Amino acid sequence: MEMHPDFQRLARAERVARRMDNAVRIPFTRVTFGVDAVLGLVPGIGDAMAMLPSLYILQVANMAGAPRRLLGRMAWNIGMDFVIGLVPLVGDVLDIAYKANLRNVALLKAHVESRHAVLRDVAHGAGDNVVPLFPPQAAAGVPGAPRGPEPAVRAPGN
């Protein structure tokens, strides 16, 4: 069985994120860094080049149908990574800790998995056996709550 394209793109995005943020482990520590940290050593241009794979991950999220709020959160992570990386030396150390690409892939993975879980449940009819927590009568008067059928309106004089 072939994987859905969203999961194929997610797997590619995960590989990119690992290379960018987690490719190398410093021996005898838990500290890892990737190409992003190495590129960040080159002032300005290195941080801009490191942003390209981050934008690829953002594009994958867009193609997977991520909502604007999620895309905004991911863009915030990319922006923070860029701004942190601009500070010489201290920014490079903080950049190793922030790992924006891994954060964004985790957000993307949660979105793709939840979206496909819902689609799978709908395809298998899981929604057919759902029992509402509150019957329409209990929700009367609650703004936005589902209501039963509207009463018939009588014409004047009837």
Residue 33: pLDDT band by 50, 70, 90 thresholds? Answer: very high
Q: Check residue 157 and give left, alpha or beta (phi > 0: left; psi -120 to 50: alpha).
A: left
Q: pLDDT of 83-120, one tens digit each?
A: 988 888 888 888 889 999 999 999 999 999 988 876 66
pLDDT of residue 142: 46
Tell whether the model's pLDDT for residue 124 goes beyond 70. no
Distance between CA atoms of 104 and 17, rounded to whole angstroms? 8
Q: What is the pLDDT of residue 105?
A: 97
- Tokens, residue 11: 């797997």
Q: pLDDT grade, residue 152 (50/70/90)?
A: low
What would the pLDDT profile of 34-69 be if each residue is shown by its tens digit?
999 999 888 879 989 999 999 999 999 999 999 999
The verdict on pTM exceeding 0.75 is no
